[in-house]
Structure 1
């Protein structure tokens, strides 16, 4: 395994080469996506690792299609969560925010932000995530702050933001009002989702946004198809939320966040002031801050320079894609649609892709409180970033929760090992990086390329749909079943013998396979491409488009696969030694030489023979093996085991207590096991009798 230093060096090379920045190439199509900004409350978790793997893979795929791609990173100030975290720190030090004052508390929050920013961006780099780091934005930066204040002022002047005295949820622990959806329901009643303190109902004056007045335009974007939402369940949830909106309580009694841009005159008059407005003498600002989700709802605009008419805004708004969790449909996705559509007249996204949650092997949501959360960094350190990425990718389907298990990492590591073995064999047989498609003469070489084309088409459909499980499955099946499992077995001797057709076909197939896998396995694919003689930044390469199907070659290769599998099944069923070469007679077999290599056959006339018919061909193999003494003893041992199992299972089913007390599923399994062992017993008896020339006898 390559060390983490190697991964870090490669990543640094990508950054130094500007691999993640926008190209601004004239005439190039654009593609833009925002990173859901992680909260500055500590380390990233497996949910982030999954979301960032999915986002990074789809971004790299767009780069490899020639788009001028923007994946814009950011961080969220997470007002309630960060405030609670800092107050816990202060209590541990024997003080409080009231003792140190608002200015000192804010300075402390900015220091914490700097530390968290360094930690989070480091973790993302460790995973291989490649947003445009030059554009990293924090929700309290000057640009987003100005956008937030501008949006609030416009909505206030339009009469959509108002102050009212109402009953709201109050958290004594966080000392602020909350919205209904920030409460956790427990047997003891609602508690704060951040500090778990029991909530109270208090009548207080707060600032509210009339969201129902904005809902029709946000809803219309979905119903007209201007914005698509996947999967279908998320589409329905979005519309359900949009149809049942209540006024949004915007104010929070916190010190960390965007301070509400409302000033009060000495006579009590309230007015919102834009960022460049002069505040009249004697007016005082509202002490509250805005709900964090208000500034987050402006993220597709504020990160591109709004309210100014910037080149970025013209080029990248609306965003092409939003990737976020199904649990954020209301908190974030709908609220972005509400505010951004109202402020610009255009919905913020052309497409929303909602993913599920990370769960443990038992199906429980991962969380620190349950003690089942997994830190991705130790996994990356032990297995490498691409192993974790591929383990997540293989389970990534739109809207579906991911049950993450340790064996997923083992399976992903096994595939990477297989990929290295394939590339190593290709290199040792004289293959090199090849971007030009060859026109091979041999039928099996043509079959390899048409199978590659099929995998490419399936992978492209997976990437386009945000279905990494499909993309990974198509490419892994080609690598393991077609390329390694059949082609290399059949053509290995020819490759080492210098066959030009085989070498060209394999060079192109492996090169293209690495390109297609690159969005999910960026470190490994570049490393293996370099082993074949290529250098550069793979994100800048185009993945070849699939060619039209080669039906003749496709049929020949599938006939070979079917006959090989039938011969292997016959060998095991009839008890032939795995290494034995069997005499065989063929009729209508297109790739006879290749079949002999993969199924260990020689030309002959088996007698007695068993005829196997597949794909328009007939293969005749010997019916019975010639057993040596060791083989006979092995079959007899297996027969004794089968007979023992039959006797034990029959006895269990004859016991009245078992039939009365055992669950129905256990009884059904016992009957299935009995039937399977009876079949195996009879098969082994038949093999031994045929091999000895004896007549069948009673079982």
Structure 2
């Protein structure tokens, strides 16, 4: 196929992805004769979602690994799928119904769920379509959804097993409660935001009237549910009061004064009110001291009948105002201070989350199972033993810390969309957990209950079903005979590596380890690669409210300024905020965002994948890597122009040491030192890339490929090969052409996992000419592996010397301000035998008319001399001495002024004290650079007299 003149990523991407998918290239490998299997699980994105920068980053890494191991000859499976996202999805569908004036309760559960499935079928594939735009290569035919029938069976089987083992129970515990959604929510769905609030100090009188205590609280309305006042056991101020009773203001109750080391002696008054039913810390205190749990809120956050009558029915914040007013009226409100506090808000509804005492289902995290070990202990052991390894290793500490301080896991949600809990209740409160209603009735009959059964209306936490992802997606059944003949389950559990952000180590990673180990007896994955989170260029979290969100698809396709502004401001309720974001966007992207193409974006993501918590996304890198793709395109066109239609001696016998194994004079191929050098460098970069893939250092993979392609192959070898083709004999020309095409073909395979589209397009033309075994796609070709026998240190040293000489010549031209268009002779002395060999190349690289090897430099020469080892170089050029003296004098004066300015800043104590370290270092470097240049120019001026 003929290669287009210009690199146009959109055309390439539009053609190749449908072809890859149609040809089923992404299919899971099931060749049992292969020794190696590679499997990776897609963290299932919400079915409601769209692709964001975090997805793009995460999926680039996963796809690079999958393509790499597929080309290495492994059986590969990248398991895709989406999560039903219980809360998020239910909200979306309820909003649609609200717009029609309908509530889910109007429809009833069954009809509402039909609406949810309709919506899922209509728009649930958005993110997977966008993944295709990113060039990802999962086995789409194995795509799973956490509400699929097969996965639903796995969820039910797991719940029933854990219940029968005593590891799932129902109980009344304190949980995060969203009063708007009327459901428990996980910690991950709660955002802690710092807000302005108040600290109220309230006087609690002792019951005997002898004294009083002053407590401090940020939530005065909850005092209606207080069951104790707490002081530190070592606080001398209150020792005599411990064990006494106080009158709880605004109520007719008396509560005890207790001592607990949880109290901070230095905070507030040193007295703390205890409300076990409405505060997680207080709940733990209540458990330790056996305090009653008095809930004073309804599920929609109104005051209930456990509070005095005058407050009943009030919204919690209205109740706060009423309580504060009554405290003031009774003259027991001592003080009110402004106070910064962390407020927990629901990430979906933005309402303040309430700790609420409700009946929920829990997984017992610390209770021993049938084998005598808790699921937490097993999860800790597999990491401690090295069965599961974290990359970077320091994330093990985060994993261990959470598991060592874990609480029982609340797995029930008061929703309709999700896996309904497989539990049925009798009229007498008995619970029957079973796979089906028929099984529950049979179990009830065994226990002597024959009345009606009603199913639990709650559903399971989304994280429960996603915790089963490593084996539920592989069609695990729980039947040992069936599972033993499931090839994918046998090959791909455990999977090879999990790629994830550090923010869900607790919520997903640890739970997958616990559940997979408990249910299947195996670990879910061997490695966990933990990456940072994508931030904007200033390190800020990307969010709609900040107006700094970037859409990966917009970076691929480009987007105009007005369209970008509309995208960033749509849905914002505050006009001033929208105006501010629009202004910021116009300043940052005055012409919108240009189209970079998928490959440039992927290369950017890979280059940013260094260890650390935060990853600053720099749009300039996209531009740089689009230039890289363009460079590769143009390099390929150059190679093809020089090799197509020429004899490359591809039918020749095996080469030995860079020369043919045929008698002298009959050789059809001769390989120069430069040919042997680039092949040697290729082996080194292949070795380096393999090491970095193994270590999950994708930034170093990108860096190694970029440096080799741009610096070594394009900037040096192509220029050298051009000279060899123009000046060499036929055997040398064949050697150069063959090296060009073979090296380029290897480069394309080497870079394919990171930049799949451009490499596929180029490889289709290059591979047949290179004489490689042809495949329908580059992704089926072998990944380059280093052959260390082809390392050639002699040629490497020779090219390094050539580079040094070329750099010296270029520096001489720069020092003398010689026009790039002007060619002139180079005088060389003390050069050794290689100068003659280098001469034609130096002429091309340094734009010389000739290279003259002389015994000594002319005594009267005014031009500067460069020294490379024992070699001295000088450009032979007629100098206008007077003009050159003026030029040098002006340059020296300019440099001295720059040094004086920079040195003045460094000598200024105020500047040094205020300036960031990076700025000071920059000024120091400026002084060093200017001084070095000055030291070269002064001798030149002195030489001119």
For residues 208 and 27 of structure 1, the distance between their equivalents in structure 2, rounded to whole angstroms, comes to: 44
CA deviation string 1:296-330 (max 9, x = no partner): 00001111111241332112111111111111101
Deviation at 1:595, TM superposition (A): 4.0
For residues 117-132 of structure 1, what are the structure 2 equivalents within 5 Å? 117-132=124-139
1:226 equivalent in alignment to 2:359 = no
* Higher share of residues assigned helix: 1
For residues 71-110 of structure 1, what are the structure 2 equivalents within 5 Å? 71-110=78-117
For residues 183-194 of structure 1, what are the structure 2 equivalents within 5 Å? 183-188=190-195, 189-194=343-348
Work out which of the two has the higher radius of gyration on C-alpha atoms and give 1 or 2: 2
Deviation at 1:107, TM superposition (A): 2.0
Corresponding residue number in structure 1 for 2:708: 478
Aligned CA RMSD, in angstroms, stands at 2.9
Pairing partner for 1:462 from 692, 696, 700: 692
For residues 334 and 392 of structure 1, the distance between their equivalents in structure 2, rounded to whole angstroms, comes to: 26
Corresponding residue number in structure 1 for 2:549: 373
2:172 is paired with a residue of what secondary structure? Answer: strand
Deviation at 1:624, TM superposition (A): 8.8
Corresponding residue number in structure 2 for 1:238: 399
Deviation at 1:390, TM superposition (A): 0.9
For residues 500-579 of structure 1, what are the structure 2 equivalents within 5 Å? 500-532=734-766, 534=768, 536-548=776-788, 549-573=791-815, 578=820, 579=822
For residues 276 and 96 of structure 1, the distance between their equivalents in structure 2, rounded to whole angstroms, comes to: 28
1:42 equivalent in alignment to 2:64 = no
Corresponding residue number in structure 2 for 1:30: 37
Deviation at 1:125, TM superposition (A): 0.8
Pairing partner for 1:452 from 682, 691, 695: 682
1:405 equivalent in alignment to 2:618 = yes
Contact 2:57-2:605 at 8 Å conserved across structures: yes
For normalisation by structure 2, the TM-score amounts to: 0.68
For residues 413-432 of structure 1, what are the structure 2 equivalents within 5 Å? 413-430=626-643
Tell me whether 669-678 or 575-584 shows the greater mean CA deviation.
Answer: 669-678
Corresponding residue number in structure 2 for 1:133: 140
CA deviation string 1:204-235 (max 9, x = no partner): 11111012220111111111111111111212
Contact 2:895-2:934 at 8 Å conserved across structures: yes
Q: 1:332 to 1:662 in 2, by over 3 A?
A: closer
Q: 1:647 to 1:38 in 2, by over 3 A?
A: closer
Q: 1:661 to 1:327 in 2, by over 3 A?
A: closer
Pairing partner for 1:296 from 449, 454, 466: 466
Contact 1:431-1:504 at 8 Å conserved across structures: no
For residues 896 and 531 of structure 2, the distance between their equivalents in structure 1, rounded to whole angstroms, comes to: 51
1:7 equivalent in alignment to 2:9 = no
For residues 86 and 525 of structure 2, the distance between their equivalents in structure 1, rounded to whole angstroms, comes to: 26
Unpaired segments of 5 or more residues in structure 1?
695-699
Corresponding residue number in structure 2 for 1:66: 73
For residues 472 and 435 of structure 1, the distance between their equivalents in structure 2, rounded to whole angstroms, comes to: 34
Q: 1:631 to 1:638 in 2, by over 3 A?
A: same
Corresponding residue number in structure 2 for 1:334: 510
Q: 1:651 to 1:350 in 2, by over 3 A?
A: closer
Tell me whether 197-206 or 592-601 shows the greater mean CA deviation.
Answer: 592-601
Corresponding residue number in structure 2 for 1:256: 417
Corresponding residue number in structure 2 for 1:697: none
Q: 1:675 to 1:166 in 2, by over 3 A?
A: closer
CA deviation string 1:42-61 (max 9, x = no partner): 31101111111111110000
CA deviation string 1:641-689 (max 9, x = no partner): 44654676688899x9977997586788667656755665565454344
Pairing partner for 1:598 from 830, 845, 853: 845
For residues 24 and 669 of structure 1, the distance between their equivalents in structure 2, rounded to whole angstroms, comes to: 57
Q: 1:597 to 1:546 in 2, by over 3 A?
A: same
Q: 1:686 to 1:555 in 2, by over 3 A?
A: closer
Corresponding residue number in structure 2 for 1:627: 879
Pairing partner for 2:355 from 201, 219, 235: 201
Q: 1:325 to 1:492 in 2, by over 3 A?
A: same
Contact 2:423-2:456 at 8 Å conserved across structures: yes
1:582 equivalent in alignment to 2:823 = no
Q: 1:443 to 1:276 in 2, by over 3 A?
A: farther
CA deviation string 1:533-568 (max 9, x = no partner): 546211111023211122222222222223333443
For residues 518 and 894 of structure 2, the distance between their equivalents in structure 1, rounded to whole angstroms, comes to: 75
Contact 2:174-2:357 at 8 Å conserved across structures: yes
Corresponding residue number in structure 2 for 1:145: 152
Q: 1:377 to 1:268 in 2, by over 3 A?
A: same
Corresponding residue number in structure 2 for 1:316: 492
Unpaired segments of 5 or more residues in structure 2?
1-6, 196-342, 367-373, 442-450, 558-594, 660-670, 769-774
1:443 equivalent in alignment to 2:443 = no
Tell me whether 66-75 or 472-481 shows the greater mean CA deviation.
Answer: 472-481
Deviation at 1:106, TM superposition (A): 1.5
CA deviation string 1:579-629 (max 9, x = no partner): 444221243464533345434461233335877665xx5221128964348
For residues 832 and 490 of structure 2, the distance between their equivalents in structure 1, rounded to whole angstroms, comes to: 63
Tell me whether 136-145 or 173-182 shows the greater mean CA deviation.
Answer: 173-182
Contact 2:174-2:356 at 8 Å conserved across structures: yes
CA deviation string 1:30-84 (max 9, x = no partner): 2111111101223110111111111111000010000111101000011122223
Contact 1:45-1:375 at 8 Å conserved across structures: yes
For residues 145 and 420 of structure 1, the distance between their equivalents in structure 2, rounded to whole angstroms, comes to: 49
1:391 equivalent in alignment to 2:604 = yes
1:519 is paired with a residue of what secondary structure? Answer: coil
2:48 is paired with a residue of what secondary structure? Answer: coil
Corresponding residue number in structure 1 for 2:858: 607
Deviation at 1:339, TM superposition (A): 0.5
Contact 2:424-2:437 at 8 Å conserved across structures: no
For residues 424 and 662 of structure 1, the distance between their equivalents in structure 2, rounded to whole angstroms, comes to: 53
Tell me whether 318-327 or 458-467 shows the greater mean CA deviation.
Answer: 458-467
Q: 1:19 to 1:98 in 2, by over 3 A?
A: same
For normalisation by structure 1, the TM-score amounts to: 0.91
Contact 2:721-2:736 at 8 Å conserved across structures: yes
1:687 equivalent in alignment to 2:940 = yes
Q: 1:98 to 1:65 in 2, by over 3 A?
A: same
For residues 509 and 230 of structure 1, the distance between their equivalents in structure 2, rounded to whole angstroms, comes to: 32
2:525 is paired with a residue of what secondary structure? Answer: coil
Q: 1:635 to 1:428 in 2, by over 3 A?
A: farther
Deviation at 1:276, TM superposition (A): 8.8
Corresponding residue number in structure 1 for 2:237: none
For residues 703 and 44 of structure 2, the distance between their equivalents in structure 1, rounded to whole angstroms, comes to: 30
1:532 is paired with a residue of what secondary structure? Answer: helix
Q: 1:466 to 1:651 in 2, by over 3 A?
A: closer
1:320 is paired with a residue of what secondary structure? Answer: strand
Tell me whether 440-449 or 86-95 shows the greater mean CA deviation.
Answer: 86-95
Q: 1:181 to 1:529 in 2, by over 3 A?
A: closer
Contact 2:596-2:623 at 8 Å conserved across structures: no
1:527 is paired with a residue of what secondary structure? Answer: helix
For residues 683 and 552 of structure 2, the distance between their equivalents in structure 1, rounded to whole angstroms, comes to: 34
For residues 561 and 151 of structure 1, the distance between their equivalents in structure 2, rounded to whole angstroms, comes to: 65
Tell me whether 632-641 or 438-447 shows the greater mean CA deviation.
Answer: 632-641
